[in-house]
Amino acid sequence: MSAAVIFDLDGTLIDSAPDIHMIANEALKIVQAPPITLAQTHDFIGEGIYKFVEKMRDARDLPQAFQDALVDDMSKRYNDAVYLTHPYDGVVDALSELSKQYRLGVCTNKLTSATEAILKHLNLFDNFDLICGGDNPLGYKPNPAALLHMFDKMGCDKQLFVGDSEVDSQTAIAAGVPFFFFTKGYRKKPVDEIEYAIAFDDFKNLPNLIADFILLK
């Protein structure tokens, strides 16, 4: 296979915010804090669990002393937080088609065990050659080190990254690879303020977009 396609997870392949919202509010109960909203959950997703909890604490005016307890509680719940999550429309068919033509991977800031658990629950796991979570030793996105390491291991001469956010765009730019931007995910800025090679809003179009892009390159 001549091309490697690596995907972000939350907000790109799956809408996981309802499950993350649920476990975040369960964690807040242990410090007797009021719940966050689903809209706030969307805003906090994207930079890994530690940043998520920092933002959640700020929103609820909670001290730094609560950080580790909240992270630990959410981490313990993460692997079972699968029942409110679903793939975006067209993802299942797109991955099935793409996996027959290219090497596929997932590079996410979500914990690796939680990433594998949700992909297995949704029957998506077998589409991927490599999976890398945010607890890898190379660091969280937008640091491109984990993404570059994955591309190196996949050994393909053409590479691209698919994501939904400013963090994903920054990661692709830092890695020097084209960014395919799913515009219906968890981005915080308008589409025209985010740098990308190709933008799309429907996964049924992605296989053809990738094929055409690779041919031009």
CATH of the domain at 39: 1.10.150
Q: Which of 8, 10, 73, 168 is catalytic?
A: 8
* Residue tagged 């892009």 (tokens): 213
Q: Do 108 and 193 belong together in one domain?
A: yes
Q: Do 11 and 23 belong together in one domain?
A: no
Assess contact for 174 and 61: CB atoms under 8 A.
no
> Which of residues 37, 61, 78 is at a domain's end?
78
Q: Do 46 and 108 belong together in one domain?
A: no
Residue 217: what pLDDT? 67
Structure tokens at 20: 């993350």
Q: Do 92 and 104 belong together in one domain?
A: yes
Q: Do 155 and 97 belong together in one domain?
A: yes
Whether 8 is catalytic? yes
The parent domain of residue 43 ranges over 17-78
Q: Do 9 and 27 belong together in one domain?
A: no
- Count other C-beta atoms under 10 Å from residue 130's C-beta: 16
Q: Do 143 and 157 belong together in one domain?
A: yes
Q: Do 10 and 94 belong together in one domain?
A: yes
Q: Do 191 and 159 belong together in one domain?
A: yes
Q: pLDDT tens-digit profile of 52-99?
A: 999 999 999 999 999 999 999 999 999 999 999 999 999 999 999 999
Residue 29: what pLDDT? 97
Is 23 a residue whose pLDDT tops 80?
Answer: yes
Q: Do 116 and 38 belong together in one domain?
A: no
Q: Do 130 and 174 belong together in one domain?
A: yes
> Which of residues 78, 99, 131 is at a domain's end?
78
Q: How far is residue 34 from each of residues 24, 29, 59, 142, 144, measured CA to CA in Å?
A: 11, 7, 10, 31, 36
Q: Do 74 and 90 belong together in one domain?
A: no
Whole-prediction pTM: 0.96
* Residue 2 confidence class, pLDDT cut points 50, 70, 90: confident
> Which of residues 62, 78, 94 is at a domain's end?
78
Q: For the domain that residue 111 is a member of, what is the CATH number?
A: 3.40.50.1000
Rounded-to-integer distance, Cα 129 and Cα 66, Å: 37
The tally of domains found in the chain comes to 2
Q: pLDDT tens-digit profile of 172-196?
A: 999 999 999 999 999 999 999 999 9
